[in-house]
Structure 1
Amino acid sequence: MKKSLRIGAMVATAALATMTLASCGFGGGSGGDASGSGTTLNLLVPSYSDKTQGLWEEVITGFEKENPDITVNLEVQSWDNLNDVVTTKIQGNQAPDIMNGGPFAGFAADDLLYPIEDVVSSGTLADFQESFVEASSVDGVQYGAPLIASARALFVNTDLLAQAGVAAAPKTWDELLDTAKKISALGNGIAGYGMPLGSEEAQAESAMWFFGAGGTFGDEKKITIDGVPENLKAATFMQQMITEGATQADAGATNRSPLMDIFVQGKIGMQVGLPPTVGQIAENNPALKYEIVSMPTPDGSPVALGVADHLMAFKNDDTKKEAITKFLDYYYTSDVYVPWVQTEGFLPTTKSGSEALGGEEALKPFLDLLPSAKFYPSTNPKWDATNAAFKSLMGQIAQGKAPAEVLKEIQAQADAG
């Protein structure tokens, strides 16, 4: 979830060429382990935290105990290295059997992945939240098993709200602007609303506003940033928030992570945050008084940006298909899956997982938003270019550039791929 993953056409073509040379299909080798008995699965995952490797080792230990004829080899890489590692493996005819990553459209387009329905039971398939299924599919076929979810919501410093004379968290854009300006007027370095439009996650901040206005980033077929009235409405209001002093200074160059640190310190009235923000507050400023609400929209209807990473299964060797299914079904059982997700500080993508965590008061606002979450068009091959364009260009609205021109430039960069 920290980095996007995409395989270019050149790599995929090379992988397919290699596939034709392998006696046992893409990935080569036998489904058996080194001793010639049983099945070995190779699992490639990124590290979300310093707990990731231990969590996967615990899952594997439990799985192998129940399935002594299956061995799971774990490889943990940083998000920064993951793209290069999987590219090298594919080129060397050694693709993992199961991989945890982000975008998967390039793999699916080159027929390197199993449809998820082929490698999970019907019960596991039906347990995924419907809102995640479309974001896990290409041309109506689900190739990604949603692994972890993150929804975004508005964190509100209730002490600053009270000091500004505001009785309740805003629900509409007009209320948000008014409330943020009143909080900024408190002085002492306090900002009403934290708007990070720097290179870290300008696309996420923008999405909350665009989606809230009824806009869109497009779909798997077409990226649509420019020419969408709702997008322009959102970008224009974002600029208004900045020019009227409702946000922190230099919003166009501010990144989300350091800005959230300032919110945790009690110096920002409102900012969009993630489920892990709850733990960050508990660790660094447990005395902070805050609430979590849906991001305000023009008419007050709820909106959430959903982000999900996936597990995907490569079609290396059909003799491993049954073992892959057993592993995925085991992993997604509530007793195994929920503690894994909880420890990493994210949200479950399954209905049973959401039910299991329903009593967690801090997570409830996020869980309530999941069924209606909207997603990036990450299955579109041009999404990576679009993502990069937002990060490099969207901050220009904070320097006074016309929002229409900024959206036009983002669209051009997205179209160029």
Structure 2
Amino acid sequence: MALTLTSCGGGDSAGGGDNATIRLVAADYGDSADNSSEKYWDELVDAFEAKNPGIRVNVEVHSWNDVDQRVADMVRSGDAPDMAQIGAYADYAAQGRLYSADELLSIPTQADFLPGLAQAGEVHRVQYGLPFASSTRVLFYNKTLFAKAGITAPPKTWAELQQDAQALKAAGAQTPYGLPLGPEEPQAETLNWMLSGGGGYTDNVGSYTFDSDANVKTFEWLRDELVAKGLTNPKPGSTNRKEVYAAFADGQVGMVNGHPTLMRMADAKNVQYGMAPLPGRDGTSAATTGVADWMMAFKQHGHREQVGKFLDFVYQRDNVLKFADQYDLLPVTTTASEAMRADKDNKHLWEFLDELHTAEFYPVSKLSWAPVVSKLKKSIGATVEKNGDPASVLGELERDAEATENSARTQD
């Protein structure tokens, strides 16, 4: 169900100046009516309109299940919203539909974005995607199960992770390590393991590297040293993240890579857990997965000035921090990040915040990424099945990714 927010304001003409109505379509980060993003936007819009009485802001909040499609339908029907806060921006940028960041934002606002996130929002070195919320991944471990298995510290290497998983299994843990490679969101777990093995989705010049030696060896290790030895959930290729998180919150999983939402789930069921950097092949992983959601502004209705004023307000430090606090997410600006790091009430997020500086993000600026990740979701789980062939699966993904990228460049 869409949640539509319409705050009282000034005029609603479609023209320029300070008299216009602008529309935002946004995703809902809440999991119930009580913590819906509707409340955040309602309060923020009221505060903005009080300072800018000529600008009226209408906000529609949709669930993550359909918000991207809703925006796509609006664009296709010829009535794009002025702003959209969704999961991807590159296609719209390539079509010439979006304002660039420097066309919208004041210099201080644009300069305040964390550098890695600002870069992730670029297409052809021009920033169109404005980061809105972010998260990173760390290793969660169940302290109670660790104590029962005689484990005194979280693992720093793959070998230690395997040893700890074996100890957990011997001590009766139902799932020593939770490995979600099912179709819901395997791209995060996949990148976690690629990075910890010295690989990744792309190289330092942005070319796809699915079938690199490092990536192939990573999934061979997962297949042979964790899955084949019964140290994970029985069918990782069909197990989704939500299932693994729920099992961890029920005290059934010894270790899992997770983001801040898992803290709330575990706290709600009084699970005693710890967090640590991701283990790597030979030591702590040099990088972790970063995930960002995006704000973008469409040119269609010509409200550049009004949208710019609103977005400058959205990205003020206190507003960014309030949203991050409310949903246990990470701020996307330097000033808000520094404020979170200085606030002991946010100590539970410091581990994730520290990882943000070295996080690697999905290659969302590549026009091919959406179809590529769609194929990955269907096939990556086969790499760790019995008799699975990582080189073959990753090779096919590489060929498809390269072909899709070449096609997208031609159309661009």
The bucket for the TM-score relative to the shorter chain is: 0.7 to 0.9
**What TM-score results when the alignment is normalised by the length of structure 2?**
0.88
- Is the alpha carbon distance of 1:82 and 1:277 closer, same or farther for their aligned partners in structure 2, counting shifts above 3 Å? same
Alignment-mate amino acid for residue 304 of structure 1: T
C-alpha distance in 2 between matches for 1:299 and 1:356: 34
Alignment gaps of 5+ in structure 1? 1-28
Q: Distance in 1 between matches of 2:370 and 2:42?
A: 32
Q: Tell me what 1:331 maps to.
A: 314
Deviations 1:351-373 (A, max 9, x none): 12212222312111000000111
Q: What's the C-alpha RMSD, in Å, of the aligned pairs?
A: 1.9
Mapped to 2, the partners of 1:415 and 1:273 lie a distance apart of 30
CA offsets per residue over residues 144-164 of structure 1, 9 Å max, x none? Answer: 110000111110112222222
Q: 8 Å contact 1:52–1:344 — kept in the other structure?
A: no
- The 5 Å alignment of 1:327-406 reads 327-358=310-341, 359=344, 360-396=346-382, 397-406=384-393
Asked whether the 8 Å contact 2:228–2:386 carries over to 1, the reply is: no
CA contact 2:94–2:367 (8 Å) conserved in 1: no
2:91 to 106, 114, 117: 106
Q: How many angstroms apart in 1 are the aligned matches of 2:189 and 2:77?
A: 39
Which position in structure 2 is the counterpart of 1:259? 244
Please give the alpha-carbon distance, in whole angstroms, between the structure 2 residues aligned to 1:103 and 1:263: 29
State the one-letter code of the partner of 1:231: N
- Alpha-carbon distance, 1:165 to partner: 1.8
Tell me if the contact between 1:223 and 1:383 (Cα under 8 Å) persists in the aligned partners.
Answer: no
1:407 paired to 2:394: yes
Deviates most, 289-298 or 396-405: 396-405
Partner SS state of residue 25, structure 2: strand
Supply the distance in 2 between the matched residues of 1:132 and 1:246 (Cα, whole angstroms): 35
After superposition, what is the alpha-carbon deviation per residue over 1:261-309, rounded to whole angstroms, capped at 9, x for unaligned? 11111111100111111111122x12x2211111101132342100101
State the partner residue of 2:22. 41
Q: What do residues 345-401 of structure 1 show as CA deviations (whole Å, max 9, x unaligned)?
A: 321111122122223121110000001110111222221222122221121122331
Matches of 1:298 and 1:267, distance apart in 2: 26
* Secondary structure at 1:346 match in 2: coil
Q: Which residues of structure 2 form unaligned runs of 5+?
A: 1-12, 405-412
Q: Which amino acid aligns with 1:338?
A: L
SS at match of 2:357: helix
The answer to whether the Cα contact below 8 Å between 2:28 and 2:37 also exists between their aligned partners in 1 is yes
> 154, 158, 163: which one pairs with 1:169?
154
Aligned to 2:45: 60
The offset of 1:31, in angstroms, is 2.4
Which stretch has the larger CA shift, 254-263 or 405-414?
405-414
| Aligned residue in 2 for 1:24 | none
Letter in 1 for 2:388: K
Contact 2:186 2:377 in 1 (8 A): yes
Residue 20 (structure 1) aligns with? none
For the 8 Å contact 2:202–2:208, the answer to whether it is kept is yes
Say which is worse superposed, 270-279 or 396-405, in terms of deviation: 396-405
Alpha-carbon distance in structure 2 between the residues aligned to 1:382 and 1:92 = 23
In the alignment, the residues of structure 1 paired with residue 282 and residue 128 of structure 2 have an alpha-carbon distance, to the nearest angstrom, of 36
Give the residue type in structure 2 aligned to 1:112.
R
**Equivalents in 2 of 1:159, 1:80: separation in Å?**
35
Alignment pair present for 1:279 and 2:260: no
State the shift of 1:70 in Å.
0.6
Tell me the distance in 2 between the aligned counterparts of 1:38 and 1:81. Answer: 31
Q: Partner letter of residue 322 of structure 1?
A: E
CA separation in 2, counterparts of 1:169 and 1:369? 17
- Quote the Cα distance in structure 2 between the aligned partners of 1:93 and 1:221: 33
Q: What code does the residue aligned with 2:75 have?
A: I
Q: In structure 2, what residue type is equivalent to 1:310?
A: W
Match status 1:206 vs 2:187: no
Map residues 81-92 of structure 1 onto 2, 5 A cutoff: 81-92=66-77
Question: Hey, what does 2:6 align to over in structure 1?
Answer: none
Q: For this pair of structures, how many residues does the alignment match? A: 381
Identity fraction in percent: 35
- AA aligned to 2:168 is I
Does the alignment pair 1:237 with 2:221? yes
- Structure-1-length-normalised TM-score: 0.87
Question: How big is each residue's C-alpha offset from its partner over 1:308-357, in whole Å with a ceiling of 9 and x where there is no partner?
Answer: 01111111344x22211211111111222211222123211111221222
Q: Give the counterpart of 1:182 among 157, 160, 167.
A: 167
Q: 1-side partners of 2:323 and 2:159: how far apart? A: 40
Question: Partner residue of 1:250?
Answer: 235
Is it true that 1:217 corresponds to 2:198 in the alignment? no
Equivalent residues of 1:393, 1:409 under 8 A apart: no
Who is 1:25 aligned against?
Answer: none
**CA shift digits 1:18-48 (9 cap, x unpaired):** xxxxxxxxxxx83269xxx812111111222
